[in-house]
Amino acid sequence: MRRWATAAGALALTGGLLGAAPQASAAGLTQVTGFGTNPGNLSMYTYAPDALPAGAPLVVALHGCTQSANDYYAHSGWPKFADAYGFALVLPQTSSANNANSCFNWFEPGDSGRGQGEALSIKQMVDKAVALHGGDTRRVYITGLSAGGAMTSNMLAAYPDVFAGGAIGSGLPARCAGSVSTAYTCMYSPPDKSPAQWGDLVRSAAPAGTNSWPRVAIWQGTADTTVRPANATELRDQWTNVWGIGQTPSRTENLGGGTTLSVYDDASGRSAVEVYTVSGMAHGLAVDPGSGAEQCGSAGTYYLDTICSSYHTARFWGLDGDQDTGSLPAPTGLTVTGTTDTTVSLSWQAVAGAASYAVYRGGTQVGRTTSASYTDTGRAYQSGGHAYAKGSGQAMGLWNTFTSHTLKQTAPGHYVIDDSGCQGR
């Protein structure tokens, strides 16, 4: 008997993370057995498009409480993009034998740490799926909703050598809880740790010497009363700290569906952490039923009609082939549409077939947008009549007086004065 079963009755009110519902079958998926020692007592289901090529990516998708592998498969929209972009899906499934409410035991150290319990079972499923489909071990990703999102956090921390990226939907920071009681604390009132404290929890869970980390997307509704929105802030702090970058966004975008995207770039200008905040959305996974290219999924319990999170997550991971830009021409008609003391707004002619545009300043990518316009927040700002370097805050003189300085970027959004290499000032 699993130790969690005795606590089932007391946890029936928590909805998405710890709520109760009957087990569903996984019709429409292929069940795979014999995938390892399976110490977590999970079931493995897969979906692969016809004629999937060798070396294809793999996405692991973890359902929430009260759900099943088939439920997630039917509602989340991931099969649409597996077909469109060419990757395989693995959908692990837990049961009432593990947890009376069919939740992944994200709060149990023996199930969420490297080489243990359910976490090890999921890792064994990855190994099996890669062998079955000839997948690319460098392009394995994991996502999940609610309890599945919380387990995703822990899997990214425990196996950064396995997963190139993750997406946490209405979830919690890695290693936030170590028991049922602390799980409730995390859900309703997450600890306000410093970014370094959260980051240390990830680093201590990962193999010693890890210096390469997954790219992480965080999805959160502002009206979520099951997993409070503060968890998204703590998740942001955790994974930006792991990446060694600050907590100020490199840029923000409005995506529609009441969704604001905040992007945190690494030192090379590539997005490392993205936070998708869905205004007014309650606890659940963001879906957008319809046949449009950016639409997916179907509405249901804990599947909320707002925006297709699977589409945006797949693009964030590069599963749409966005890395290959050679087949499209560069935009034309670049125009400065407005300036302020701290920003420059640009627009250009849209390119047919372009999903997004990369914006460069001085040969370095500073942003990415899906529209044919962008506002560059620049490298300096003015306050009280003086100019300051963005990030470091170093004084550069009176802002309305001609003064020349060279600024060096030391991290995304962080500049310091570096006049030593500037000639002829």
Q: What mean pLDDT do residues 69-93 have?
A: 96
Active-site entry in 43, 76, 112, 146: 146
Q: What mean pLDDT do residues 142-155 have?
A: 97
Domain ranges of the chain: 3-317, 335-376, 382-421
For residue 6, the model assigns a pLDDT of 27
pLDDT digits (tens, 9 = 90+) for 226-260: 999 999 999 999 999 999 999 999 999 999 999 99
For residue 9, the model assigns a pLDDT of 24
Q: Is the dihedral of CA 90, 213, 112, 197 positive or negative?
A: negative
- The continuous run of DSSP H or E covering 273 comes out as strand 271-278
The residue with greater pLDDT, 37 or 360, is 37
Other CB atoms within 10 Å distance of the CB of residue 242: 26
- Identify the weakest region by mean pLDDT among 26-35, 63-72, 391-400: 391-400
**Residue 278: is its pLDDT beyond 80?**
yes
Distance, in Å, from the CA atom of 139 to the CA atom of 131, rounded to the nearest integer, reads: 14
pLDDT digits (tens, 9 = 90+) for 97-133: 998 788 999 999 999 999 999 999 999 999 999 999 9
User: Cβ distance 368 to 263 under 8 Å?
Assistant: yes
**Residue 298: is its pLDDT beyond 50?**
yes
Q: What mean pLDDT do residues 189-193 have?
A: 93
Domain formed by 3-317, architecture: 3-Layer(aba) Sandwich (3.40)
**Residue 409: is its pLDDT beyond 60?**
no
Which runs of consecutive H residues, i.e. helices, occur in 99-170?
109-112, 117-133, 147-158
- Judged by phi (left if over 0) then psi (alpha if -120 to 50, else beta), residue 41 lies in left
Active-site residue, 146 included: yes
User: Cβ distance 226 to 170 under 8 Å?
Assistant: yes
For residue 362, the model assigns a pLDDT of 46
**Residue 324: is its pLDDT beyond 50?**
no
Percent with pLDDT over 90 in the chain: 66
For residue 388, the model assigns a pLDDT of 59
| First CA to last CA distance, the chain | 76
- Identify the weakest region by mean pLDDT among 12-26, 134-148, 291-305: 12-26
Q: What mean pLDDT do residues 248-277 have?
A: 96
Model confidence at 422, pLDDT cuts 50, 70, 90, reads very low
Model confidence at 176, pLDDT cuts 50, 70, 90, reads very high
